[in-house]
Amino acid sequence: MKKTLILASTAILLFATSCKKNETVITTDGSDTLSVVKTTETTTLANDEAKAKVDKAQADLDAAIKNGDKKAEEAARKALADANVAWEKTKNVVNNAAQDVKEGVDNTVDKAKVATENAKQDMKETAQDTKEAINKAGKDAKDATRKATEDTKEAYNNTLDKLKAK
């Protein structure tokens, strides 16, 4: 369970280091506490770079329109369109990665809950087995003490009978 948590935390940290907003979810179940970082909104460096390229292409287009240069304007429009396509692809990749991480975290949390429940059940069964073993040992000791007492009485009585016979 610890290895799974460490693996999930590492994966989350790798994806979440460039995130804008993180939400920490803490699940408490008795004495066990599970803390998971949940990514809700991501903006990676690649996404920021793609947005910057779109902004630059828009600025170049505005400058070309202002200068009245038709060739530069057409080239700037093409560059803007290419930058927009790249930006959309980047956003899709980032969103898909964030969704994959979220699903992985959710699965890890679910598995951790199941493991906790299994551990609790195992502890209950072990406690019950221990209680039964203690009760059996106590009964066995009581029976052995009773038998030893009876044997001692019998031996004492036999000794008294032998002494009386002489």
User: What's the pLDDT tens digit per position in 61-104?
Assistant: 888 888 887 887 888 888 888 888 888 888 888 788 778 888 88
pLDDT of residue 165: 77
User: What's the pLDDT tens digit per position in 1-49?
Assistant: 555 555 555 556 555 554 444 555 555 555 555 555 555 444 455 677 8
Angle made by CA atoms 148, 152, 153, in degrees to the nearest 5: 120
Handedness of CA 104, 106, 32, 9 (dihedral sign): positive
* HSE toward the beta carbon, residue 32, CA cutoff 13 A: 14
pLDDT of residue 20: 45
**Cα(124)–Cα(120) distance, integer angstroms:** 6
Q: Name the pLDDT band for 150 (thresholds 50, 70, 90).
A: very high
pLDDT of residue 87: 80
**pLDDT: which is higher, 17 or 137:** 137
Q: Which residues make Cβ contacts (< 8 Å) with residue 18, sequence separation at least 6?
A: 42, 43, 44, 45
pLDDT of residue 42: 46
Q: Indicate if the pLDDT at residue 141 is higher than 60.
A: yes
Average pLDDT for 54-58: 84
pLDDT of residue 139: 92
Between strands 32-42 and 19-29, the pairing is antiparallel
Lowest model confidence (mean pLDDT) among 25-34, 41-50, 108-117, 121-130: 25-34
pLDDT of residue 26: 54
**Cα(117)–Cα(124) distance, integer angstroms:** 11
Q: Indicate if the pLDDT at residue 106 is higher than 90.
A: no
136: Cα separation from own chain's centroid = 41
